[in-house]
Structure 1
Amino acid sequence: MHKVMIVDDEPMIREGLKSIIEWDKHGFTVVGEASNGRDALTKYRELQPDLILIDIRMPGMDGLQVIQEVRQNDTTTNFIILSGYADFDYAKQAIGFGVDGYILKPVDEDELETYVKRIADSLKRRGEQQASSEQTMLLRRDELLQKLAGNQSFEETTFDGEAQELLGTPAKYYQLMLIEVYSREHSLTRGDTFKKKLADLIEQKEIGFVFSAEPYIGVLLKDYLLQSGSREQMNGWLAELCGPNARFAAAVSEPVRDWRELQDWAPYVSGLLKRRFMLKGGQIHTASQTREDHQIESDLTPIMESFAQRFFYMIDIGSAEGVEKALREAEAQLGGAGDITEQQLKSTWAGIVSMVLNKVSTANPTLPIQEYLPMITALYLEHHYNEMLDKLNAKLIELAQKIGSSDASSVMKQITDFIDRHYYENLKLETLADLFNYNSGYLGKMFKSHTGQHFNTYLDEVRIQHAIELLQEGMKVHQVSERVGYANVDYFHSKFKKYKGVSPSTYKKI
């Protein structure tokens, strides 16, 4: 609604003017009144009315003096003068001040309504023109900033008057920020709603401009450096605008003195946000113009198998600390590769977990392993690498606590039990030392003291004992050799004869 103020020194006239026509019918509402010129100026500054009905003769300061004072800085407010005299000189002065109507008292209702309707139409056209002009400027500024964020070339004129017109008063510092808003729930309007709310906030704070930078939302910050407290403040604003059902990740350039320098920063800011999976969510990350390129093996199978075996061992002995240590080592080796994609990382971890669960299931046939299969699917639903690994770590530790060795009173008992369960694998003292967090030399002495045998001797005897059981079941020698951990059948022959005095073939016939 447009605002009307009524100025007259007679209270009855002021009251009559409020009701003489239907103001709201023409899009007006009466917001205030004044009884003299001085009071009128005070109310004008406070209310900023679109239309003032003012008596031409008032004590102290008359209507023409009020209009003259207003016109020094304001050429758009509309005036209708009310007068009890048909004075040509007054009318002439009023025309010079750009008034919209001159009505003699007593006021004629139809005459006043004609003027009001004419002014309403004028205000409507002015509003439409202003809105069109503002929309044009917004589109031009959006185009300019889109080119900036997209590292596109500008016309030379853009760097001169046009940029100042679109970007306003020059700032001491500028920063480019790109924001991605996302959620597991699909929404066609979430991004637009967030952008509008953010634009309103940034405009209200007078700290820059918001623009479209598909697939992101761009912000040109002016003299609002994202450092310490201001970064936390911006984080809070963005989180609040996201609400409970969405999240954000943002990347920002270093501050620059000349906004044109942001064009050089744009690829690094967008490049950082493209690796959003590797960033922590709900935070603003600063881009760098230097980047280390990491190489990763094209075939990840050996790495996956190695870590799967390590996880399996840690789960088997019930070591939560060991599970987390193995996970962080794998994270460092896989996540540090600059060229690996989100999909590759998720697929690699899904492969590792699948191998682990297969090993656990084989070693624990009665375990309802299907309860843990959803953790593989869950990997693909995570938005950030650190969150994916934290949840995976918790599930693997839960599994370790469920099936791992419950007797922690004796490290040596855990080690010998572990050997009894994994004798057929490529076990080494160094492997056990790493699993149980011991120096291998010290562990060797502990093992000899506890069992009376060196590690390799103890392992050989466990293997030979299982080999005897398999031979008695009728298995062939080469099959037994492989089943108990000897890849070379001749080596198995020599070991068997060393401990039993006869070859495995001869022992089988006894």
Structure 2
Amino acid sequence: MRLKALLVDDEVHILNNLSKVLPWEDLGFEIVGLAKNGVDALEAAITHQPDLILSDIRMPVMDGLTLIQKVREEGLTGEILLLTGYQEFEYARTAIRYGVRDYICKPINYYELEDTVRKLAKQIVEKKKQKNKEQLLNRMANLANENNLLHSLLGQETAKEDILWQDEEESDHPHSYAVLLLDMDGYAHESISWPFPERKAWNLDIKQKLKELFLPLLRDFTVLQVREGEWCVVYDTVINPQLTQDELSLVYESLQTLVADKLHMHIRMCLEQEPLTLAEMSAVYQRMQQILILDPPQGWFTDVQSVTSDLLKPIPGEDLGAVDAQWHWIEQFGSGLRNGNYEAMTQMIGELKAYVGRLNETSVGRSEKLLYYLLIHLLREMREMQMLPGEQEEAVWLRLQESLSVKELISLIVSMIERFKDSLSTKKSSEVLMMSAQNFIQQNLGADFGIEEISDFLGISCSYFCLLFKNHFGETFVEYLTRQRIETAKFMLSGSEKSITQIGAEVGYQERRYFTKVFQKYTGMTPSEYRLKDSPAS
């Protein structure tokens, strides 16, 4: 780890001696700047962010004490070592207030200075290592939290006792959540011509923009991309006030300005602020999707609490079971696509045709809307699974520009399913994808990765990966990854002489304390206790 040093003194011969006499490379430093006054030094400090500033106190233009004050005001936290021939108490008291680490008196004893710098270097390196560990620990916790929330939205809630990253105190006081769904209306059509890297980059830009826009409004919130062109902002209702439509309008205007260059794209928001548990999130998410389908598309904002129950009720004379089946088809078509189950999708086509045959005049308009959404849903799903060439998708969208009857919409859906059947012979099945995922996990067990990295590797979206993974392995990605890491660690503890810290690092836990915490929660004992239990002496 190479550290950066900035040297400051108005006496040129002292500055030269400081840069040449001390063995800076051996001490672990790279000299990033030499300055003759405080003004130049401040500019260099802001530019290079040095780990150590070695500065004289008495200098023209800006003295050393003013320099360190300005450095701290800029938020720079590097260590400061002062060179001074002045030992008055007032200087010392001012310097201490701004975090000066030590003093070297002039004339300089270079042996003493070298020894001081060497000790400081060790302390700086240790502080950096600790900071990196804490950042890694926070990132792992954030990844786990995002994964858990995504699984919950998709109806794959992780059991409370299996949330291994959660503190005991937190687990006794479960969170309650609010959900804001943002959908980019028109995205599926407008993005047809975009290459995959452009679509991915654009969606990531929107996700990052959402984080920036909600940062002044919320604490402890998570932005999840469920699929292309759709995001959910999930936040804790205990520590956050309710969002107002005026606050959300500012977010809407900023986002709408951002997508203004993409024609016919319109942002729609649906908000549920009644406190939700993790187990309730999936049903609410599905309800919000239904509302955005059935609610008139002119407005940009819908509050779930303001939606009348009539919106989601069947029209008089319409069979309630048939209405439920429509939403069931939307779910099942997606599941059939992901699992490569052509037979199940063919069966649902039969159900759709039978449903159309029973329609009465009052329910035709509503059914057209739902079938239209089902068709768009199939387009988005097949695109994310890379099952539909761009020209075929464009042809479907051209058909949708026409005024299609219910029967014509059914016919178009059937043709989409036939295309899906043709693509099955050339695309990886879900089983092959999950075998690839399993190999990726085993080969990268010690690396820091999450759902985004493994989804990119497989070439599918995060939401598809979560659903495929849970269906195939019977547990969520986080549960599976944790189990693989701990089981591997158990084997290594029993069969190797490596230290607990080394073993933890090799299975993906760079910080021993966090490794011990997860291991103990998983096995009921610490790594040391487990190793002792399996030792020959025991």
Q: TM-score range by the shorter chain?
A: 0.3 to 0.5
Q: Which protein has greater RCO, CA pairs closer than 8 Å, 6+ apart?
A: 2
Which structure's CA Rg is the greater one? 1
TM-score (norm 2): 0.42
TM-score (norm 1): 0.44
